[in-house]
């Protein structure tokens, strides 16, 4: 693979060198060829700030300032095409001639366009293109939608798209994952500015780590994307595009929420943009501070939503090195302290709490990109480098210092003073480090005609290094009687050499793309070939038909956050890969019809998308028969059978004057080819019911319980249908009303229940009725099991937001807002209780009824 990489590098250098002589020398002279003007909204006549204006064939661009005006100075003399583009309005182009020593005025009137078909996206083919011309379907979640739902971070705003659902997977630590088309979050590739720097460690809590004020837009591609972005892009890709500096401006937002109408969640964020007078350089700075108090749903003293204390600071900047080249960089740092469990507000250390998940993350990310275009717009070269460093201090588990009522268990020492037995302290402290580095380049060339129609060829190569170290220091320092360390460090290093290429024929009506990606992953013996084929047909401007096939893969890793959830119960766990473990492979097919029509003042859009993914050699974990270490359990990752995921996504949008309505719905079937275990039940020696003391539980010759496995083909935690709606109405000037809703259909949720622990609601009721007793264990100390498969009811979250904007001056604004999420408090009501609760028994909406208010000051 290294030879392929070096050969491609040499080829590109030769190609660039061959036309290097045609590159124009940077024009340094003061041409005094200037363009000035303004941009207004056609319907209202109001000036529009923040509208992007670019000149085709160059990197020259600007935006309208706070008064809606723009200017270009010292343009290269010649004929050019100016393009005016902003999300929510139709794109306009005008031809003009830059004349030496002359200043011209060119003005624009923009008309609203809720379809955003001309919006620029980069996730479809690694190059900027409009949504209309993109070879694959790209959905865009812009910053306006984040504001509409009062989203403070990525997790709170990304689910308002068909096929996307965000869920909480741990009752104690509260980590979220995003499911696309029903597939687990591990199958979604999260990118920052198109770079895969969100590794397995950063991705676990990453949805809440990314503040909303850092995001310009999120581009969503459903279906396998490995032909473009590599491992883990089986379900889809979430590409977070960070904000660029537009014009000199500043804004600060304060938002205060009350989780469950009780506990405060305070967010303060700011953004500032600074652009040089000649528009050749600019920087955007953002910052965010968040403090959330823990919230206890069932008053058992243990949180269902944990404490968060987070800070983030970052910048994105650009430098135009010539009219045809640009350097763009982005740097940000995030620090978050997160704590769930008991006695949080009292300040108890994690290791003396009955159950705790405490994490402290320090994340540093950076990326740099250089773009060069030829003057004739045929050649485009891009080189990039990015990296992310993650340091995490953690504690999962708890101590045995507390009794069943949560009170300290003390005993007198030699002097008669009550003291705690220090041997009962929790020892599951951990230190985890993650390092991810990515670098590469790509080159594209536009043919006026290649064989039978215009085409673009793109080729590139990249290298990714990912390393992770995970250790529990206290356990690793301790040896058992045979000299084994209780928890040896987990080390993982992966090197990936990749090459990708694609050929796309395209015009206004037809697009055909053939592409592939070749990966050499250091944990796999063979090269991974991932092909990609797309077809786009636009019989008219308002009809977009697409068909896509793509192959994806997921390479095995030794880090898995599910194992840390187990540690929340005080049981340390570790995973190892089995011998001859194969990669997971997927084959994805998508068909879509994206239809648009205008009925007078009404703009309408209907999207229908069918999807089918066949997954082979899916990863599964099983407990190893031999356990050489004391103090924790080893699990082995193996290849299980396959799975089939299929269904349809439907989205409808309507816009009429000052009102917009959007509705999304997903219908899916997610099944394994062979039944997969979801839980177990301890077998009985006789009778139809277990006796309260467990005396008729079946045991083997070693005195350990014998369990029966329960299996099913249906993927757990996956509703067959779910959806959302958004309604936005500018009721009158400067006053806005937003209504939102999310629907989650019925689903099956596995529930691990241990006999007589008093954690599950059903177990608590059985204990109270005298049908069970505590302390029923086998020779190995294991509890008897009586797992259940919960048929979770449907949920509907309804929210509203009211806002009013005060115009304090021509450029100064103050917006005040108030709202409520999950008004009907549609929320899980059967959480486990106490220190031995199973943290992964959590489903449904991620927050209860929550009220909020705040304001944004900008100029």
Task: Decide if 110 contacts 39 (C-beta within 8 A).
Answer: yes
3-state secondary structure (DSSP) of residue 716: coil
Give CA–CA dist 506/513, Å, rounded.
8
Tokens 């401006």 found at = 249
* Number of Cα atoms under 13 Å in the Cβ half of residue 488: 10
Q: Where are the alpha helices (DSSP H) in 153-253?
A: 154-157, 200-204, 206-209, 226-229
* CA distance linking residue 709 with residue 72, whole number of Å: 71
Instruction: Record the pTM.
Output: 0.86
Determine the Cα–Cα distance for residues 685 and 694; give it in Å rounded to an integer.
Answer: 10
pLDDT at position 410, please?
Answer: 73
Other C-beta atoms within 10 Å of 292: how many? 22
Task: Give every CB contact of residue 596 below 8 A, 6+ residues apart in sequence.
Answer: 115, 117, 542, 543, 544, 603, 604, 605
62, 71 Cβ separation under 8 angstroms: yes
Question: Tokens 């537009």 correspond to what residue?
Answer: 246
As a residue count, the chain comes to 859
Q: Is 644 helix (H, G, I), strand (E, B) or coil?
A: strand
> How far is residue 749's CA from residue 719's CA, in Å, rounded to a whole number?
10
| Six token digits for residue 260 | 């469950």
Q: What is the pLDDT of residue 791?
A: 94
Please give the distance of CA 526 from its chain centroid, rounded to a whole number.
29
Mean pLDDT for back-to-back runs of 10 residues, the chain (859 residues): 45 43 46 90 84 82 85 87 80 88 91 68 77 86 88 89 90 86 85 82 78 90 75 84 88 96 96 88 95 95 95 94 91 95 92 90 94 89 95 88 72 72 81 93 94 94 92 74 65 91 94 94 89 94 93 76 50 71 90 92 92 89 66 74 93 91 95 90 89 92 91 93 95 93 96 92 94 88 91 96 93 94 96 88 94 96
Q: Quick one: pLDDT at residue 227?
A: 66
Tokens of 186: 């591990």
CB 398 within 8 A of CB 355: yes
Structure confidence at residue 630 (pLDDT) = 57
> What is the pLDDT at residue 572?
59
Q: Are 217 and 169 in contact (CB under 8 A)?
A: no
Is residue 715 within 8 Å of 672, Cβ to Cβ? yes
């Amino acid at each position: 693979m290294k030879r392929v990489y070096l050969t491609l590098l040499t080829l590109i250098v030769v190609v660039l060198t061959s036309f290097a002589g045609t590159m124009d020398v940077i024009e340094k002279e003061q041409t005094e060829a200037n363009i000035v003007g303004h941009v207004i909204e056609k319907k209202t006549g109001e000036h529009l700030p923040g509208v992007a204006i670019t000149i085709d064939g160059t990197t020259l661009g600007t935006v309208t300032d706070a008064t809606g005006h723009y200017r270009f100075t010292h343009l290269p003399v010649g004929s050019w095409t100016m393009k005016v583009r902003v999300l929510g309005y139709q794109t306009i182009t005008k031809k003009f001639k830059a004349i030496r020593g002359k200043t011209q005025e060119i003005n624009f009137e923009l008309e609203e366009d809720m379809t955003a078909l001309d919006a620029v996206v980069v996730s479809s083919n690694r190059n900027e293109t409009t949504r209309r011309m993109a070879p694959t379907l790209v959905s865009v979640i812009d910053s306006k939608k984040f504001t509409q739902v009062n989203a403070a971070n990525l997790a709170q705003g990304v689910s308002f798209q068909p096929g996307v659902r965000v869920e909480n997977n741990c009752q104690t630590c509260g980590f979220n994952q995003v499911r696309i088309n029903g597939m687990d979050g591990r199958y979604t590739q999260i990118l920052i500015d198109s770079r895969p720097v969100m590794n397995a460690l950063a991705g676990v809590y990453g949805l809440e780590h990314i503040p909303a004020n850092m995001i310009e837009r999120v581009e969503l591609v459903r279906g396998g994307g490995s032909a473009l972005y590599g491992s883990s892009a089986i379900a889809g890709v979430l590409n977070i595009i960070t904000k660029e500096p537009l014009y000199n401006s500043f804004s600060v937002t304060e938002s205060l929420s009350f989780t469950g109408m009780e506990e405060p969640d305070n967010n303060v964020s700011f953004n500032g943009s600074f652009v040089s007078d000649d528009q050749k350089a600019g920087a955007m700075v953002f910052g965010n501070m968040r403090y959330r108090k823990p919230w206890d749903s069932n008053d058992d003293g243990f949180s269902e939503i944990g404490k968060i204390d987070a800070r983030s600071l970052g910048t994105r900047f650009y430098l135009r090195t010539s009219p045809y080249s640009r350097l763009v960089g982005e740097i940000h740092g995030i620090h978050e302290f997160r704590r769930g469990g008991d006695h949080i507000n009292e300040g108890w250390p994690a290791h003396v709490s009955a159950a705790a998940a405490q994490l402290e993350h320090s994340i540093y990310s950076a990326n740099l990109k250089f773009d060069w275009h030829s003057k004739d717009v045929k050649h485009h070269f891009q080189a990039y480098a990015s990296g992310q460093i993650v340091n995490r201090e953690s504690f999962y588990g708890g101590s045995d210092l507390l009794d069943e009522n949560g009170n300290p268990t003390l005993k007198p020492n030699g002097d008669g003073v009550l003291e705690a037995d220090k041997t009962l302290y929790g020892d599951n402290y951990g230190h985890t480090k993650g390092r991810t580095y990515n670098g590469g380049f790509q080159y594209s060339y536009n043919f006026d005609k290649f064989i039978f129609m215009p085409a673009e060829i793109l080729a590139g190569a990249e290298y990714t290094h990912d390393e992770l170290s995970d250790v529990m220091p206290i356990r690793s320092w301790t040896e058992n009687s045979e000299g084994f360390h209780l928890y040896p460090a987990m080390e993982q290093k992966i090197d990936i050499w990749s090459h990708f290429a694609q050929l796309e024929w395209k015009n206004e009506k037809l697009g055909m793309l053939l592409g592939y990606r070749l990966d050499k992953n250091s944990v796999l013996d063979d090269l991974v070939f991932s092909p990609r084929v797309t077809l786009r047909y636009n019989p008219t401007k308002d009809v977009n038909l697409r068909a896509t096939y793509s192959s994806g893969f997921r390479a095995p890793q030794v880090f898995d956050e599910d194992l840390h959830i187990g540690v929340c119960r005080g049981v340390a766990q570790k995973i190892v890969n089995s011998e001859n473990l194969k990669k997971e492979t997927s084959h994805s097919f998508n068909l879509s019809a994206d239809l648009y029509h205008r009925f007078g003042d009404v703009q309408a859009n209907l999207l229908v998308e069918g999807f089918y993914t066949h997954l082979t050699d899916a990863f599964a974990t099983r407990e190893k028969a031999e356990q050489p270490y004391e103090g924790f359990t080893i699990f082995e990752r193996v290849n299980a059978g396959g799975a089939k995921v299929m269904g349809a996504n439907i989205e409808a949008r309507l816009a009429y004057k000052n009102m917009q309505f959007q509705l999304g719905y997903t219908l899916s079937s997610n099944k394994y080819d062979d039944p997969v275990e979801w839980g177990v039940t301890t077998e009985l020696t006789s009778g139809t019911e277990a006796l309260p003391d467990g005396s008729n539980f079946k045991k083997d010759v070693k005195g350990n319980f014998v369990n029966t496995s329960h299996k099913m083909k249906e993927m757990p935690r996956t509703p067959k249908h779910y959806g959302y709606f958004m309604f936005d109405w500018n009721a009158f000037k400067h006053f806005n009303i937003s209504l939102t809703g999310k629907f989650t259909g019925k689903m099956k949720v596995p529930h691990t229940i241990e006999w007589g622990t008093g954690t599950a609601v059903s177990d608590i009721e059985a204990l109270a009725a005298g049908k069970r007793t505590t302390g029923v264990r086998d020779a190995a100390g294991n509890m008897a099991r009586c797992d259940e498969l919960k048929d979770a009811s449907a949920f509907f979250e309804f929210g509203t937001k009211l806002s009013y904007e005060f115009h304090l001056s021509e450029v100064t604004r103050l917006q005040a807002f108030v709202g409520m999420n999950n008004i009907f408090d549609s929320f899980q009501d059967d959480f486990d209780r106490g220190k031995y609760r199973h943290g992964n028994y959590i489903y449904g909406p991620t927050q209860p009824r929550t009220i909020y208010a705040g304001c944004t000051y900008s100029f």
